[in-house]
Chain A
Amino acid sequence: MQHFRKPKLTPNKLVSMKEAIADAVKPGCNLYLEGFTHLISFAAGHEIIRQQIKDLTAIRLTPDLVYDQLIEAGLVKKLVFSWAGNPGVGSLHALRRVSQKDSAKKIEMEEYSHFGMVARLLAGSSGLPFWPLKNYEGTHIAEVNPKIKSIDCPYTGEKFATVPALNPDVAIVHVQRADKEGNAQVWGLMGTQKEAAFAAERVIVVAEEIVDTSVIRRDPNRTLIPGILVDHVVHEPWGCHPSYAQGYYDRDNQFYVDWEDISRDPASYKNYLDAFVFGVKDRHEYIQKMGTDLMSRLKAKPRKCEGVDYGY
C-alpha cells in the first residue's frame, strides 16, 4: 500500500505554544515529545498539563522528568519507552507509583531497549512495517513484549529480531533555530529528532530562535527537519529548562538533583506542579518565576566553529 504524504507548505506556521498544543495534541493520541537529555521541550510538556489533555500514549526512549510530570498529572494511559529514570540522578517517582506491586493505580507499559525504539522510528520514518535488528537473544525483553518478533533472513537464513514501525500522531521537537516554515537546524546531540519528525503524522517544531529563511539557506547541511513535514512553529527561548540547548544554555543539573526529593513525595510534587505549571500562564512566566540567577547561572559560554564555504 503506497502511503503518500501531503507536504505542509504554509509559509508562516508561527503560533503560540498554547495554540500549537491545542491543535495538534488530542486526548487519546500517541505523543512523541523528543529529546535525549538535550533539547527536551519542557515548555510543551507543561502546556499539555495545563490543557489537561488526557489518555495519552506517551512514547520516547527516555521518558525523563517531563513524562513523569505528565504521569503525575494523571494524563498518561500508556508509556512506551526504553529507559525510565532521572538521568545521572535516580528514579522517576510518579512512574514508580503507577508501576509497582503496591501501586493503587497502574498505567500500561510497553518496553524496548534504546536500539529497539530507534529501529521502530526508522521503520516508521521510511514507510516500512518493521525493522530488523540483531538483538534480544539471551534476554527476557522480547518475551515480555509480544510486539518484538523475529524473521529469517532471506539471504543467509539467520534469525533476527524485528520491531514494528512507530508512527506517532504527533512529534514535538525542540531545535536551536528554525524559520517560520519550520525548516529546523540542530547541532549538538541529535537523539531521534529527525526520525521522529519523519515518522509522525503531525510535527511541532519549538525553536530557541526564529531566523529568516536566508539564514537557514546559508548553512543547509545543518537542517535536520525540512519545513514540509512541520505543522506548527513555536518560538520558545529557554523552552528546554531544566534540560539544555547546546550553545544557548547548560543543563540545570541542580534541578535534576533537587527533583529527586521533590518528586518522591506526592505532596511536594503537587506543590511543584501547582506553582511552576498551573501557576504560570506560559513559559515566559515560568522563566521569570525561576528567578534572576537562572540565566546567568546557565547561559552558555560562546564556542564558535570555523564555519564552512558553500561556494562553487
Chain B
Amino acid sequence: MATDTAAQTLKPSERMAVRASQELQDRQVVFVGIGLPNLACNLARATHAPQLFMIYESGTIGTLPARLPVSIGDPTLVTDSLAIVSQADIFQGYLQGGLIEVGFLGGAQVDKYGNINTTVIGDYDNPKIRLPGSGGACEIATHSQQVLIMMRMSPKSFVAKCDFITSPGSRMDSTKPSPQLGRTRQEMKLPGGGPTKAITDLGVLEMIDGEFTLTEIYEGVTVEQVKQNCGWELKVASSLKTIPNPSEETLDILRNKIDPEKLYL
C-alpha cells in the first residue's frame, strides 16, 4: 500500500504538524507561532481550510506567507497580508479584544493543567537555565478562546509542577509559591478558554474536567510509552483512539511544499 512507504519514514514533527492541522477549521481566526504551529496552519490552509485567517504576533493580519517564515517577523508575512498593524493593536485590539479563536503555544515545561513555563528552569533569581521569557505567550494563553499546545513529550517537559508559570492553564499549580495556587481559570476570571489539547509526538492529551487526559495515540505508540514520557500520573481515556498515519498526499504537501528545506520538520 502507498501509505506504507510514507509511514516508514514518518517523523514525530510530521505527525504533530498533521494532527494539529486537523484541529483547525476553515475561516477560523488563528494566532500563529513560528515552527510547528506555522507548519500546521499552513498545511491546513493547503488542504481542508483554504480560508484559514492567520494572524502573526508581529502584526500581520490575514497573512498569506509565500515561503516558510524563518522568524515571527519574516518579510514574507507582510507581503500580501490584508493588514499590517502596530503591536499595540495586536495585543489590545486583536488579543485582548477577544478576536483570536485559536492560539498556539509550546514551552520548556507544561503541567497537567496546561500551565506553561518559558521563563526559567530552577529558581527565578538564580536559574539553572534562563529561557527567553513570555514574549506574547502570557497574553495568548490569557485571551485566546482556545489554546492548542504543541510539545514533544519527555519527563523533563511534561512535569508534575512547572518551576515558573509564564502562561496560565486551567488551574494554577507550581513548585513556586503564589497566593493564587490552586485557583481555577474561572476563579481568576481569565477571559479566554485556555488550553484544550496538547498535540505531542506520541499522541494527543485533551483537557477533560480541567486536567490533561490521554485520548489519542499514533499508530505504533503504546500507552506505556506515553506514560513513561510524562512526569505525572497520566489519566488515560477509556475509549482511546488511534491516530491513523497521514496520507501520502498530505505528507507530500507538508514535505515538498510547506517545508521543503526541512527547517522545522
Task: State the A residues within 8 Å of B (CB).
Answer: 36-38, 61-62, 81-85, 87-88, 91, 95-96, 99-101, 111-115, 118-119, 121-122, 133-141, 143-144, 158-159, 187-192, 194-195, 244, 246, 250-251, 253, 256, 300, 303
The listed residue (B72, B122, B166) touching A141 by CB distance below 8 A is: B166
Q: Which residue in chain A gives the minimum CB-CB distance to B185?
A: A138
- Which residues of A sit under 8 angstroms from B84, Cβ to Cβ? 187-190
- Which residues of A sit under 8 angstroms from B167, Cβ to Cβ? 139
Chain A binder among B99-107, B127-135, B235-243, B246-254: B127-135
CB pair A113 B73 closer than 8 Å = no
Given contacts A140-B124, A192-B86, contact A251 B180 (CB under 8 A): no
Size class of B's contact patch? 35 or more
Between A111, A121, A187, A300, the greatest number of chain B beta carbons within 10 A of the residue's beta carbon is seen for A111
Given contacts A37-B74, A134-B191, contact A139 B168 (CB under 8 A): yes
- Which residues of A sit under 8 angstroms from B122, Cβ to Cβ? 101
- Which residues of A sit under 8 angstroms from B75, Cβ to Cβ? 38, 188, 244, 246, 250-251, 300
Given contacts A139-B168, A141-B166, A188-B75, contact A38 B58 (CB under 8 A): yes
Contact residues of B between 91 and 126, Cβ < 8 Å to A = 91-92, 95-96, 115, 119, 122-126
Minimal beta-carbon separation of A144 from chain B (angstroms): 5
The A-B contact count (CB < 8 A) is: 176
CB pair A137 B188 closer than 8 Å = yes
7 interchain residue pairs of minimum CB distance = A37-B73, A138-B168, A83-B135, A88-B71, A85-B132, A113-B134, A115-B91
Q: Which residue in chain B gives the minimum CB-CB distance to A37?
A: B73
Given contacts A137-B190, A144-B124, A190-B59, contact A113 B135 (CB under 8 A): yes
B87 at interface, CB cutoff 8 A: yes
The listed residue (B95, B126, B183) touching A101 by CB distance below 8 A is: B126
B196 at interface, CB cutoff 8 A: no
Q: Which residue in chain B gives the minimum CB-CB distance to A96?
A: B130
- Which residues of A sit under 8 angstroms from B142, Cβ to Cβ? 134-138
CB pair A138 B180 closer than 8 Å = yes
CA gap between A253 and B74 in the complex, in Å:
10
- Which residues of B sit under 8 angstroms from A251, Cβ to Cβ? 70-71, 73-75
CA gap between A88 and B37 in the complex, in Å:
13
CA gap between A303 and B84 in the complex, in Å:
16
Minimal beta-carbon separation of B263 from chain A (angstroms): 9
- Which residues of B sit under 8 angstroms from A140, Cβ to Cβ? 119, 124, 164-166, 174, 176, 178
Q: Which residue in chain A gives the minimum CB-CB distance to B126?
A: A101
28 contacts between A and B (CB under 8 A): A36-B73, A61-B135, A83-B134, A100-B130, A101-B126, A101-B127, A111-B133, A112-B134, A113-B137, A114-B91, A114-B136, A115-B95, A118-B92, A119-B91, A121-B88, A137-B180, A137-B190, A138-B168, A138-B180, A140-B174, A188-B78, A189-B73, A190-B59, A191-B59, A191-B86, A192-B87, A244-B75, A251-B74
Contact residues of B between 218 and 264, Cβ < 8 Å to A = none
B15 at interface, CB cutoff 8 A: no
- Which residues of B sit under 8 angstroms from A119, Cβ to Cβ? 91
CA gap between A36 and B60 in the complex, in Å:
12
CA gap between A109 and B164 in the complex, in Å:
16
CA gap between A62 and B70 in the complex, in Å:
16
Minimal beta-carbon separation of B95 from chain A (angstroms): 7
Minimal beta-carbon separation of A257 from chain B (angstroms): 9
- Which residues of B sit under 8 angstroms from A115, Cβ to Cβ? 91-92, 95-96, 136, 138-139
Mask of B172-198 contacts with A, CB within 8 angstroms, 1/0: 101010101001010011110000000
B143 at interface, CB cutoff 8 A: yes
CA gap between A118 and B79 in the complex, in Å:
24
